Amino acid sequence: MDATLLLDLYRQMCLSRRFEEAAAKAYSQGKVSGFLHLYIGQEAVAVGAISAAEPTDYIVATYREHAHYLARTGDARGAMAELYGCATGCSGGRGGSMHLFAAAKRFFGGWAIVGGHVPIAAGVAFGSKYRGEPDVTLCFFGDGTANMGAFHEGLALAGLWKLPVVFICENNQYAMGTPLYRTLSVEDVAVRARGYPMEAEIVNGDDVLEMREAVRHAISRARKDSLPFFLEAKTYRFRGHSVADPAKYRTKEEVQKWMERDPIGILAGRIRTLGIATDEQLRAVDDEAKAQVQDAVRFAEESPAPAPETVEEHVYA
Amino acid sequence: MPEPRVISFREALREAMVEEMERDPSIFLMGEEVGHYNGAYKVSEGMLERFGERRVIDTPIAETGFAGVGIGAAMVGLRPIIEFMTWNFSLTAIDQLINNAAKLRYMANGQFTLPIVFRGPGGAAHALAAQHSQALEGFYAHVPGLKVVMPSTPADAKGLLKAAIRDDNPVCFIESEVMYALKGEVPTGEHVIPLGVADVKRPGRDVTLVTWSKMLHTSLKAAEQLATDGIEAEVVDVRTVRPLDAGAILASVRRTHRCVVVQEGWPFAGVGAEVVALVARDAFEDLDAPPERVTSLDVPMPYARNLEELVLPSPARVVATVRRLLGAEERRVGAPVHPARAQRGR
């Protein structure tokens, strides 16, 4: 096992966790507005998946995308400033939590209508194929997406045209506040993908290394054979759908059971078992993440709001 | 100047696409039956043979899917032309156009440009009934971030489509099923008409008819009839609904002092309402009569031919509206004269 890699994955997951804890705090203080969808509990999916991609591969994600953005860019300042609605935010304060973008880093959003970005991800992959470029597109979405028309049309075209895209379904078992057994006619979303057709695998989304390996395999298939690939990561979100959701539709016992398999704890355990780092060293990594988040909060609090005279900029090119 | 020849509207559109695709390999055409079938309305006839399956791409019936694929491809710098077999079908993809295409650049603070054209026929054809007979420009023109282009002649079709393809924004390019066979003089080669520039298709002094696309021809017929009574209507073809050439509309209304918008869309909250608001605000002092609209009746399109005819704007309805405006003016004889009009010596 590559010690540097494991510690870096650990650092990234801590960064995402600490970032979102700070974001929730800022929200409760009224400094962050709008919708805020926390990813806490699912960090292994984004961190593992994006660590398996080349920096030139494209990322297309949803409105629950802080972790994906951080995993691709490392830019906690730009993300936090965006949540604060600042000119220095990664979308200039025009997007907010749900619309993080970093075009230069090939982080392509930040889309907030469920399913709408799935055909777009197929289109980005179409672009790579059209130009004969080797880049693969990673498309993230939740289990709730699996009933949307756009999801099926996106998968249908990716299957038909053999587009180099890896679809990553983050199955956290709740479509907003409704459990899957009441919203999904099949047990696994992956069975739907197989009909389009594309290879589909189910992976433990709480294990960052398993996630990384699965995505590595999927990306290599997509890149080498120009074929779409579907991964269903089984995971759990510890918080509500958004911070406005107290998540009363779940029992304490259920949440507790899942929190016992916290993806950050799982990785920490593995690192300890392998003797790569001590508790103290892991704490230092976490402290580093905390410091980066504190710096990002400070940056956001000191950043200016977007200048009023810019309100009409960027409607048209 | 390139030499003009007489070709059809569909040939003019094809010429624009072919010339642009030869110029720029990042342009491709995608849609239902654009390739092997040669286009539902034969606009893309022969293009598959010319450019191959890589650049002329048949899609399944999946508007949300291929509209979204177009947007994704444009995000990485390609310049897609997405054909809707009709704009009626675009409604199944409206989330892609309004939530994604129109808003991406703004949401991302200018990090992306989205050079994409959505094109196809809109409006009523003949007896296609309610779900296939809709003038939807008002829906799309409502949305900041989209441009809406509606050519009325083969020459404009070519020049505006070339401009739309070269534009770095999402453009809704709305044609008309009943105009594809329309013939007209079209310049060869480089003929590009900038978006947002209206064209006076007939000069006149008594009333301004503001119109676009198919309704230009209804308006021109009305103008001919009015001319036999000595009423000279000026017909302003806006060509682009958004951006709207407010300057051209206002300049004409200031000359004629009367304004009638002739549109195929429904009256409520339509493009005509926007033109009327513009004229009422910026040319109020110049008006001799309230600005008016001639629109489709406020009903879903019926199938029966006689009812369909009743619903669509006709030259007769335009003529009647203009006469009413002029009559209203006459009825005011003896009423106190508005100071602005007195100043003009009228």
Position B332 scores a pLDDT of: 46
> CB atoms < 10 A from the CB of A119, how many?
36
Domain count, chain A: 1
**What CATH number does the domain containing A51 carry?**
3.40.50.970
**Sequence spans of domains, chain B:** 4-187, 199-343
pLDDT of B281 > 70? The answer is yes
Instruction: Write out the residue range of the structural domain in which residue A164 sits.
Output: 3-300
Peptide bond before A110: cis, by omega within 30 degrees of 0? yes
CA distance A301 to chain B (A): 20
Q: Dump pLDDT digits (tens) for B229-250.
A: 999 999 999 999 999 999 999 9
Q: Print the SS3 string covering chain A.
A: CCHHHHHHHHHHHHHHHHHHHHHHHHHHCCCCCCCCCCCCCCHHHHHHHHHCCCCCCEEEECCCCHHHHHHHHCCHHHHHHHHCCCCCCCCCCCCCCCCCCEHHHCEEEECCCCCCHHHHHHHHHHHHHHCCCCCCEEEEEEHHHHHCHHHHHHHHHHHHCCCCEEEEEEECCEECCEEHHHHCCCCCCHHHHHCCCCEEEEEECCCHHHHHHHHHHHHHHHHHHCCCEEEEEECCCCCCCCCCCCCCCCCHHHHHHHHCCCHHHHHHHHHHHCCCCCHHHHHHHHHHHHHHHHHHHHHHHHCCCCCHHHCCCCCCC
A247 touches chain B (CB under 8 A): no
B145 touches chain A (CB under 8 A): yes
Does A243 map to a domain? yes
Mutate to test the interface with A, among B76, B95, B118 (most CBs of A within 10 A): B76
B269 touches chain A (CB under 8 A): no
Establish whether domains B4-187 and B199-343 are of one fold.
yes
Does A60 map to a domain? yes
pLDDT of B331 > 50? The answer is no
Residue B132 known to be catalytic? yes
Q: Which two tokens stand for residue B87?
A: 């704009």
Q: Dump pLDDT digits (tens) for B128-173.
A: 999 999 999 999 999 999 999 999 999 999 999 999 999 999 999 9
Among B15, B19, B63, B292, which one carries the catalytic annotation? B63
Strands B147-149 and B240-242: antiparallel
Position B189 scores a pLDDT of: 85
**Cβ pair B28:A130 closer than 8 A:** yes
A101 touches chain B (CB under 8 A): yes
Q: Cα A30 from chain centroid?
A: 25
Question: Is the pTM here over 0.90, yes or no?
Answer: yes
Position A152 scores a pLDDT of: 98
Q: Which two tokens stand for residue A152?
A: 């099926």
CA distance A103 to chain B (A): 6
Cα atoms in the 13 Å half-sphere on the side-chain side of B88:
15
Q: How far is CA B269 from CA B105, B219, B298, B313, B314, in A?
A: 26, 21, 11, 17, 21
Paired strand residues for A229: A166, A199
pLDDT of B4 > 90? The answer is no
% of residues, chain B, pLDDT over 90: 93
A126 touches chain B (CB under 8 A): yes
Q: Return the CATH class of domain B199-343.
A: alpha beta
Q: Dump pLDDT digits (tens) for A259-270.
A: 999 999 999 999
pLDDT of B328 > 70? The answer is no
Residue at token pair 């990553």: A168
Position A1 scores a pLDDT of: 72
Query: Which B residues, 39 through 98, put their C-beta within 8 Å of a C-beta on chain A?
Result: 54, 59-60, 62, 64-78, 92, 95-96
Query: Does ipTM top 0.90?
Result: yes
Report the chain A residue with the minimal C-alpha distance to residue B166.
Answer: A317
Asked: is B4-187 a CATH 3.40.50.1380 domain? The reply is no
pLDDT band at B1 (very low <50, low <70, confident <90, very high): low
Position B334 scores a pLDDT of: 45
Residue B177 known to be catalytic? no
Q: Would you say the C-alpha torsion B233, B239, B244, B248 has a positive or negative sign?
A: negative
% of residues, chain A, pLDDT over 90: 99
pLDDT of A254 > 50? The answer is yes
Average pLDDT value for residue range B324-335? 63
**Cβ pair B72:A128 closer than 8 A:** no
Do residues B136 and B89 touch, judged by C-beta distance below 8 A? no
Q: Find the range with the poorest average confidence among A21-30, B319-328, B334-343.
A: B334-343
pLDDT of B337 > 80? The answer is no
Q: Dump pLDDT digits (tens) for A67-107.
A: 999 999 999 999 999 999 999 999 999 999 999 999 999 99
CA distance B207 to chain A (A): 34
A251 touches chain B (CB under 8 A): no
pLDDT of A144 > 60? The answer is yes
Does A312 map to a domain? no
CA distance A275 to chain B (A): 44
Does A64 map to a domain? yes
Average pLDDT value for residue range B95-116? 98
